[in-house]
Amino acid sequence: MESKLRPVTTLNGKNYLYFAGTSYYQLHAHSEIIASAVEATRQWGIGAATSRTINGTTPLLLKLEKKIADFFETEDAAYLPSGYLSNLAGIQALEQLQIFDRIFIDEKAHYSNLAGARGTGKKVIQFSHLDADNLEKKIKKHLKKGEKPLIVSDGLFPIMAEVPPVPAYLKIAEAYDGAIWIDDAHGAGILGEHGRGLYEYFNLSSDRLYSGGTLSKAFGAYGGFIIGDNRFIHTVKSGEVMTGTNSPPSAIAGAASRGIEMIKNNPEFLRRLKSNALYLKAKIKSIGIAAEENAIPIVAFSSGNAEKMEKIQQMLMNKGIYIQFVKYIGAGSEGILRIVVSSAHTKEEIDFLVNSLAFIL
């Protein structure tokens, strides 16, 4: 990538209409985000060069955590250097609070969730992808009397744009006195009426529900976060992950702070994203590609084997369009073609993509 991230992005010296990645509002190159990063760096320097628990907690970071908590309507929040670390720190804190005894994790959950689960030293059992019935079977088989389960899943599986059946998971958690950890990296900022993520999407509220995410996707910045009540967040902040990592750089904290403000104060971003997602999916279906009828801005499809899909990607690139051919968790052994639309794309750009794809297929 040889330019700022934008609807037309320069890759290896050539401009492409860019339908990839995870910048759902194309905020990563927004002038206000960049200005906030520069201003934060001028005021606070590159970083504190120490951990949060020594003297690396700055007013900048405290202000950001307050904004995160306010956005997601929780008591408190913790900000970490990456979304990967959020899953490690969150699951570790739940273990320290003795919330669970065994972990049951979706077999296609992100690597960081599995790393966090294994890092607790507790027994980890995988259940079939998105399958509440299989989850309960595994709990009945592996959970001993008096033990409590922790159910772990992504909030939005980014390759196939799948949403887990969390209401069903919650009923299971209630039945076995357990809890749920959701890695809402992709859902935060785009799911729900206000973009508060998976729990808002399902209108769920329970003290058994815990989650974290990242500001590196919808919010146009970088760094992970964990949200929850004061006791839980205090445990996160005093845990090994936050005490053992340097305080995040000022620039990304400043950018994140502005990104949250922009999404909160501009609901038209989310409305436009949903409109574009629905428009893309209607057009894609008209050329014979299956797509779920929802406002999630991702369409993934396979076409033959890996060689054929790479050829399709290259033919689109020859027309000046870039979509992803990926081999990732959930993509299968041959990989998958993945299209991501942002709120910044125009209907004409979407039409050009779909018409070009129709010609190739």
The CATH number fitting domain 31-265, selected from 3.30.200.20, 3.40.50.300, 3.40.640.10, 3.30.1180.20? 3.40.640.10
The share of the chain scoring above pLDDT 90, in percent, equals 91
From 138, 58, 67, 60, select the one nearest 104 (Cα to Cα): 138
**pLDDT tens across 240-291, in order?**
999 999 999 999 999 999 999 999 999 999 999 999 999 999 999 999 998 9
Q: Residue 127 phi/psi, 5° resolution?
A: -115, 165
User: What is the average per-residue pLDDT within 181-192?
Assistant: 97
Q: Which residue has the higher pLDDT, 354 or 326?
A: 354
pLDDT attached to residue 129: 97
Element (H, E) at 334: none
- What ranges in 244-346 are assigned the alpha helix state H? 250-265, 268-286, 306-318
pLDDT attached to residue 326: 86
Hey, what are 239's tokens? 């845990």
User: What is the average per-residue pLDDT within 29-36?
Assistant: 97
What sign for the dihedral angle of Cα 13, 16, 21, 26? positive
State the pTM of this model.
0.94
Which 3 state secondary structure label does DSSP give 68? helix
pLDDT attached to residue 361: 83
What are the Cα distances from residue 186, in Å, to 13, 216, 254, 261?
29, 9, 21, 18
pLDDT at 297 over 80: yes
Q: Residue 294 phi/psi, 5° resolution?
A: -145, 175
Asked whether the beta carbons of 92 and 240 are under 8 A apart, the reply is: yes
pLDDT at 303 over 90: no
User: What is the average per-residue pLDDT within 218-235?
Assistant: 97
pLDDT attached to residue 331: 65
Residue 105 is given by DSSP the state: E
Per-residue pLDDT band at 335 (split at 50, 70, 90): confident
pLDDT at 14 over 90: yes
pLDDT at 101 over 90: yes
Asked whether the beta carbons of 276 and 129 are under 8 A apart, the reply is: no
Per-residue three-class SS string for 124-175: EEEECCCCHHHHHHHHHHHCCCCCCEEEEEECCECCCCECCCHHHHHHHHHH
pLDDT attached to residue 330: 66
Q: Do domains 31-265 and 267-360 have the same CATH topology?
A: no
Residue 69 is given by DSSP the state: H
pLDDT attached to residue 328: 73
- Full strand arrangement of the beta sheet holding 8-11: 8-11, 14-19, 321-326, 336-340, 298-301
User: What is the average per-residue pLDDT within 46-73?
Assistant: 94
Q: How far apart are CA 318 and CA 356, in angstroms?
A: 10
Hey, what are 193's tokens? 């009426």
Mean pLDDT of the chain: 95
Domain spans, the chain? 31-265, 267-360
In DSSP terms, which residues pair with 337 in a beta bridge? 301, 325
pLDDT attached to residue 292: 87
CATH of domain 267-360: 3.90.1150.10
Hey, what are 117's tokens? 């689960």
The share of the chain scoring above pLDDT 70, in percent, equals 99
Task: Report the amino acid identity of residue 118.
Answer: R
